[in-house]
Amino acid sequence: MHQQTTATDFCLRLARAHAVLVRRYDNALGSQHGISFSDFQLLNHLARAPGGRLRRVDLAERVGLTASGVTRTLLPLEKIGLITREADPRDARVGYAVITAAGQELAGNATDVVDLVSREAVRGLAPEQTVAMATVLGDIAGMHSTNS
Lowest mean pLDDT among 11-25, 42-56, 99-113, 133-147: 133-147
Burial (CB count within 10 angstroms: exposed 0-12, middle 13-18, buried 19+), residue 83: buried
* Four-way CATH pick for 8-141: 1.10.10.10, 1.25.40.10, 3.40.50.720, 1.10.3720.10: 1.10.10.10
Domain coordinates in residue numbering, the chain: 8-141
Q: Rounded to whole angstroms, how far apart are CA atoms 31 and 104? A: 19
pTM for this model (two decimals) = 0.87
Q: pLDDT tens for residues 49-80?
A: 999 999 999 999 999 899 889 989 999 999 99
